[in-house]
Amino acid sequence: MGIISYTEKNEIFFILHETRNKSMEFFFEDSEEPHQRRRQVMLKKYPMIKSLFGPDFRTKYHVMIIIFLQLIVCSLVNEISWSHFWILTYLFSGTCNHYLALAIHECAHHLVFRRFFDNKVFSIITNLPLGIPVAISFKQYHLDHHRYQGMEKDVDLPTLTEANFFRGKFGKLLFLMMNPFLYSIRPYFVSFKTPTMWETVNVMVQALFDILIVQVFGWRALLYLCMGTLLGTGLHPMAGHFISEHFVFQKEQETYSYYGPLNLLSLNVGYHVEHHDFPYIPGSRLPKLHDYASEYYNQPHYGSWTKVLYDFVMDDSITLHSRIRRKEKKN
């Protein structure tokens, strides 16, 4: 049990792609997504897992601290050089805003407060330092990723157009850099839903906040926040989870976990197999789930998101087609 080695990965992909037209097709599966079945088996064997269900109320305090820190930095960015500005934006704003984006993910699963309403409101507040309104739309589409994993409605899957366009090392590097943009617009093409009143509220509140930031701190402060979001969810170590979670590195395994130190800065989003098994357990308790049912997580995993990004770009056997797809069952 351990991190997938470079050699093992190449051997696996040689076998997989030998019959799949050299990486130019997705991996199609007839089976259902595995997590519902795993969930039933684990709950039967370890009923104490249910004690982990429900929100972690501490998350809101962590979020408010980060929002406060981001506002403090906004008041300082006009005093530093442009070179220091971009370093600070990439390292600090990128990391902080990625954390806030993952807190929005917790709100989408109703894991910060008990009431749906409270989670929606707080997700809009959490969204503020990101500079770009995403909170409510993210929830609208993300839950479909769990419900339709690998199917046409799974908005986490790269489209065929993306897979065919972002090819080769440069194409994959460009894909990582453009990931925030692609991740945001893909749902509207894959599974469009009519915008709700809450999405309108999200946009209006964010616009007012952005105007206030410019009025109080200037344009550079807004640039610091928005670029922190784009850089932090693009070519950034924290963004390695976008690749590590579901790109196929071993036949018959389509979800992977990461057990490295960056989980401390990302609400344990690296525990991704665990999250899909039990999406109603907050990130803070996923390590306990792992301990309770450790034999179910004795499978290949990652120890470095940076290496995941490097391998994704440099390994020619890994492409945007390296995802499992399944056809929706007809009723």
**Segments making up each domain of the chain, as ranges:** 6-325
Confidence (pLDDT) at 254: 87
* Residue 193 neighbours by CB under 8 Å, 6+ apart: 140, 141, 187
How many CA atoms are closer than 13 Å to the CA of 121, on its beta-carbon side?
6
Using CA atoms, how far residue 91 sits from 55, 87, 219, 237, 242, in Å, is 29, 6, 20, 10, 18
Residue 281 CA to residue 68 CA, distance in Å, equals 27
Contacts of 23 (CB under 8 A, 6+ apart): 13, 17, 316, 317, 318, 319, 321, 322
Quickly count: other Cβ atoms within 10 Å of residue 78's Cβ.
13
Q: Which of 88, 80, 78 is nearest to 214 (CA)?
A: 78
Task: Supply the Cα-derived Rg of the chain in whole angstroms.
Answer: 20
Extract the runs of DSSP E, i.e. beta strands, from the chain: 27-29, 324-326
According to DSSP, the residues that pair with 330 across neighbouring strands are: none
User: How deeply is 316 buried, as exposed, middle or buried, from its count of CB atoms within 10 A (0-12, 13-18, 19+)?
Assistant: middle
Give the CA dihedral 124, 125, 131, 133, nearest 10 degrees: 0
pLDDT of residue 329: 59
Which tokens hold the place of 230? 């784009």
Please give the single-letter amino acid code of residue 237: P
Q: What are phi and psi of 253, to 5 degrees?
A: -125, 120
> CB count, 10 Å around CB of 76?
12
Q: What is the DSSP string of 260-314?
A: SGGGGGTTTTT-HHHHHH-TTS-GGGHHHHHHHTGGGG-S-BBS-HHHHHHHHHH
Contact 294, 1 (CB under 8 A): no
Q: Please tell me the predicted confidence (pLDDT) of residue 326.
A: 85
Distances (CA, A) of 269 to 78, 175, 238, 257, 281: 33, 21, 10, 8, 11
The per-residue pLDDT for 253 is 80
Q: For the chain, list residues with pLDDT below 70.
A: 1-27, 30, 250-252, 329-331
Q: What is the widest separation between alpha-carbon atoms in the chain?
A: 62
pTM, two decimal places: 0.89
